[in-house]
Amino acid sequence: MTDETAARAAPPGPAALPAARRSLAPDLARGFMLLVIATVHAHMFRLAMTGEGYALDGPPDVAVTAFMALFAENRGYPMFAALFGYGLAQIHLRRTAEGREWPWVRRLLRRRGRWLVAIGVAHTALLFFGDIISVYGLIALLFAGVLRFTDRRLLTHAFAWMAAGTLVYALVENVAFGAAQSGAQGGEATLLSDMAMRLMTLPFFWPLMIPVSVFPFMVGVWAARRRLLEEPERHRALLRRVALFGIGAAVLGGVPQALVDIEVWSVPPLGAAGIFWVHLLVGYAGGFGYAALIALIALRIGDRRGPVVTALAATGQRSMTCYLLQSVAWAVLIPPYMLGVAGSFTDAQAVGLGAAVWLATVVLADLMRRAGFKQGPAEWFLRRMTYGRPAPAPAEGGRAG
């Protein structure tokens, strides 16, 4: 029997943890950050679909656009990447504690990564050009080995990726986004042309997104080793510092980008790239700060979970399903061959639309919870493909007497 066959033949991991046994902080963080993702995407769709700047049609639009630059844009994906690293490190730690050898765990993680790539490519082809699932899958395939790094080596690599990745991304994004804006109205889009275009962008999208996601991924691995989100009571002082400094740095560092976005400050292309680079860097701090703040809130809540917290946690527990559901909404609402609402909305209305889409996914996630589904369909599929079919329970008559 080969090693791969042995890994597949080994008993699969235990079933998903019941909600009562899950740590609140990671689920609450994912549920909240899906709101950030939804509003950022909705805010950007008018820009992408019309090739024009932000609407800025009055004080509400100006205020919303500035708010998004300070508190939302480039703040959501670093937190999700950190949570992905946190979750992958948890799998490694649990399987190692069970006595599994590293080659077995590495194959498990890479199998999970391959299925994430498959899900992400299908997501891109069918629904959305900005897929992040495949990026995380590629990171699992390429960087599984960092789970065995020492803390010092891990953080050294993390900050090196932060410095190089953000600089390249800022320079390329500035050029690419300008070209996309100028060519946004170059032809009439169709369902098939959009699908082809989305797939054609993947070879360019992955090399940009992987480098800027490795840093928060590795920080998430480091945080998981200390159980920062599972045991926030032990790390209250650190979490307070991260929340205060991270969110504060994100707001202050986001001011130049906000001024550019609301057209108060006009800068040349190279200056715009530099401002965007700073925005990316402080975005990491903001994402980590949000995670720390939510961990402190979860600690304060404890077991006193009301309906709102329960629904948010249910959303975070089904974060991949809810993320995909957002894309279904965008596929119906945004393209000109569907409802085509992107070009007719103001900035404030677009953000409101994003919040409404997120709220609909929260309701659906809570309905799944109430119906007794421990996972969303996307989570169930990924787990089944990673671990295989659960072993059947032993027959009653087969037990030893």
Question: 12-38, pLDDT tens digit by residue?
Answer: 454 455 555 578 999 999 999 999 999
Pick the range with the lowest mean pLDDT from 198-202, 212-216, 243-247.
198-202
Q: How far apart are CA 270 and CA 132, in angstroms?
A: 27
- % residues pLDDT > 70 (the chain): 88
Of 343, 17, 125, 99, nearest in space to 117 by CA:
125
178's tokens: 């300008």
258's tokens: 């906000």
Would you say 287 and 216 are in contact if contact means Cβ atoms under 8 Å apart? yes
- Give the pLDDT confidence of 351-382 residue by residue, as tens digits: 999 999 999 999 999 999 999 999 999 999 99
What are the distances in angstroms from CA 77 to CA 86, 197, 288? 14, 23, 11
Residue 186 reports pLDDT greater than 70: no
Would you say 87 and 221 are in contact if contact means Cβ atoms under 8 Å apart? no
Give the confidence band of 1 by pLDDT, cuts at 50, 70, 90.
very low
- Give the pLDDT confidence of 44-93 residue by residue, as tens digits: 887 776 666 788 889 999 999 999 999 999 998 899 999 999 999 999 99
Sole residue written with tokens 């996309």: 180
Neighbours of 6 (CB within 10 A): 12
Give the confidence band of 3 by pLDDT, cuts at 50, 70, 90.
very low
Q: How far apart are CA 366 and CA 33, in angstroms?
A: 17
pLDDT of residue 243: 97
What are the distances in angstroms from CA 99 to CA 25, 136, 143, 232, 236? 28, 26, 22, 27, 31
Neighbours of 297 (CB within 10 A): 17
pLDDT of residue 210: 95
107's tokens: 């194959």
- % residues pLDDT > 90 (the chain): 75
What are the distances in angstroms from CA 294 to CA 157, 192, 291, 301, 358? 27, 41, 5, 10, 18
pTM higher than 0.85: yes
Residue 95: what residue type? Answer: R
Residue 9 reports pLDDT greater than 70: no
